[in-house]
């Protein structure tokens, strides 16, 4: 019952019922990424505009979970979707990683209060400024 209420009233826990209904009537599934997000394109374009493209997130709706190649397709940078022609990768490129800020997986530097560690003791090389 709680899952049904989430589908009806919240957009951040995946697609709402209205979005799913719109997608079923107006969209054509183009592909999926490694995170399970599904990408769609409108069946028909509005005259004077390119075809509308959108993503249905798998889980929490977080835009940083869209990989670079799919981001380019969503924003009409690439005409061919990555499911048909993957973006060429350079050897120096790292794998895509969503933004982890605000989650338990966020980076916390040594001495961070969120990490629970104590800050390193002062070494004595700092001299406080004193007004004259």
Query: Would you say residue 39 lies in a domain?
Result: yes
Structural domain contains residue 130: no
Q: In this structure, is residue 49 part of a structural domain?
A: yes
Please classify residue 48 by burial: count the beta carbons closer than 10 Å to its beta carbon, then call 0-12 exposed, 13-18 middle and 19+ buried: exposed
Angle 17-26/2-9 helices, nearest 10 degrees? 70
Q: Sheet holding 27-32: strands in order across?
A: 27-32, 38-42, 53-56
- pTM value? 0.72
Residue 126 confidence class, pLDDT cut points 50, 70, 90: confident
HSE of 1, CA atoms in CB hemisphere, 13 A: 0
- The neighbouring-strand residues paired with 128 are none
Whether residue 126 lies inside any domain: the answer is no
Count the domains in the chain: 1
Residue 50 lies in domain = 2-114
Determine, yes or no, domain membership for 128.
no
> What does the pLDDT look like over 28-38, one tens digit per residue?
999 999 889 99
Q: Is 49 within 8 Å of 57 (Cβ atoms)?
A: no
Q: What confidence tens digit (pLDDT) does each residue in 44-84 have? A: 988 999 999 999 988 878 888 899 899 999 999 989 999 89
Token digits of residue 104? 């338990």
- pLDDT bucket at 11, cuts 50 / 70 / 90: low
What pLDDT is attached to residue 121? 73
Look at residue 132 and tell me if it is in a domain. Answer: no
Residue 86 counted as domain residue: yes
Q: Residue 10 falls within a domain, yes or no? A: yes
């Amino acid at each position: 019952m709680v899952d049904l209420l989430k589908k009806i009233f919240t957009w951040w826990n995946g697609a709402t019922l209205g979005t799913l209904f719109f997608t079923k009537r107006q969209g054509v599934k183009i592909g999926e990424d490694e995170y399970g997000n599904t990408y769609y394109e409108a069946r028909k374009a509005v005259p004077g505009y390119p075809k509308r493209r959108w993503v249905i997130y798998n889980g929490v709706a977080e835009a940083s979970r869209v990989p670079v190649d799919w981001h380019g397709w969503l924003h009409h940078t690439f005409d061919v979707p990555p499911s048909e022609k993957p973006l060429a990768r350079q050897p120096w490129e790292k794998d895509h990683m969503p933004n982890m800020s605000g989650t338990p997986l966020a980076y916390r530097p040594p001495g961070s209060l969120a990490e629970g560690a104590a800050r390193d003791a002062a070494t004595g090389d700092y001299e406080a400024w004193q007004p004259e």
